[in-house]
């Protein structure tokens, strides 16, 4: 499986950590185009570069902004022209509509008609027919809208119930065809999830939370210095985090291989 890092290379500490550790799997958002320029240095240094582009629909919804398929498609085609030939894989997520799976499918078809082949997004709470449609028509799709439901009381049970429902259908398809569908879990790179559900890929922002909150209980450090206090210490912590999530990725892959699950690689 592949675990993508969500980061902000405009911050030199994050950029340096990514470069030093040779991180080659990156998820960035169309909603944050100002981050694109710093990513170029990271992309150019990557061997076996893999890129995922989130449409940023959740961010747009939160900020009360509107994103349009035509604009997204135009940008995506130009981005693919620049980076498609330099990366091992490059995928764009559909422009999903929070809480409306039918309109999300409409955007999928609009983008396809405009020359983009986005990964479908099935959002939290979608009906069974939408999972069936993704499994019938696409080799690679994503489950999204989970993060807001992963907070608060009984959050773990809510997430598990949803993932159990989705992956029961996914595993049925695997048993019927002998090929495990490729599923990406948007924002759900937690180790327990990756060991319990056969996701082909996932992404995480957790590796940078030490910079956000200033607290860390790993590597013998109980409180990480703020950026202004010690760039060296913070960069060290981020590099260790990258290594940790690389180990999570490797461990999850081995777990699923032992269970007889392998994916056809690009």
Q: What is the pTM of this model?
A: 0.90
Span 163-203, pLDDT tens digits: 999 999 999 999 999 999 999 999 899 899 999 999 999 99
Average pLDDT along the chain: 87
Please count the CA atoms within 13 angstroms of the CA of 241 that sit on its side-chain side: 26
Domains of the chain in sequence order: 2-258 (3.20.20.70)
For 257, residues 6+ apart whose C-beta sits below 8 A from its C-beta are: none
Cβ atoms of 200 and 180 within 8 Å: the answer is yes
- pLDDT tens digit string along 106-155? 999 999 999 999 999 999 889 999 999 999 999 999 998 877 666 555 66
Dist CA 242 CA 133 (whole Å) = 35
pLDDT at 263: 93
* Residue 219 confidence class, pLDDT cut points 50, 70, 90: very low
Q: Residue 216 is encoded by which pair of tokens?
A: 């860390």
Sheet holding 25-29, edge to edge: 89-92, 50-54, 25-29, 2-6, 201-204, 182-185, 140-144, 121-123
pLDDT, tens digit, for every residue of 142-168?
998 877 666 555 667 888 899 999 999
The per-residue pLDDT for 33 is 76
Check: CB of residue 11 under 8 Å from CB of residue 30: no
């Amino acid at each position: 499986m592949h675990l993508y890092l969500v980061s902000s290379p405009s911050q030199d500490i994050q950029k340096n950590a990514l470069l030093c550790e040779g991180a080659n799997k990156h998820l960035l958002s169309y909603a944050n185009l100002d981050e694109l320029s710093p990513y170029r240095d990271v992309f150019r240094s990557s061997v076996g570069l893999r890129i995922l582009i989130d449409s940023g629909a959740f961010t747009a919804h939160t900020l009360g902004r509107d994103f349009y398929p035509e604009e997204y498609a135009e940008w995506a085609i130009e981005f693919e022209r620049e980076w498609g030939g330099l990366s091992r894989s490059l995928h764009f997520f559909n422009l999903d509509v929070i809480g409306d799976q039918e309109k999300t499918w409409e955007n999928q078809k609009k983008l396809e008609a405009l020359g983009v082949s986005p990964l479908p997004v099935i959002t939290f709470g979608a009906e069974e027919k939408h999972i069936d449609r993704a499994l019938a028509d696409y080799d690679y799709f994503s489950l999204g809208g989970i993060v807001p439901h992963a907070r608060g009381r009984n959050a773990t049970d809510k997430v598990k119930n949803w993932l159990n429902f989705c992956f029961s259908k996914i595993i049925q398809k695997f048993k019927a065809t002998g090929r495990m569908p490729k599923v990406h879990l948007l924002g759900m790179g937690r180790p327990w999830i990756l060991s319990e559900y056969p996701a082909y890929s996932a992404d995480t922002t957790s590796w940078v939370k030490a910079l956000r909150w200033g607290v860390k209980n790993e590597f013998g450090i109980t409180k990480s210095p703020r950026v202004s206090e010690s760039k060296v210490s913070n960069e060290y912590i981020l590099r260790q985090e990258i290594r940790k999530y690389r180990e999570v990725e490797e461990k999850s892959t081995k777990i699923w291989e032992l269970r007889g699950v392998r994916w056809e690689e690009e």
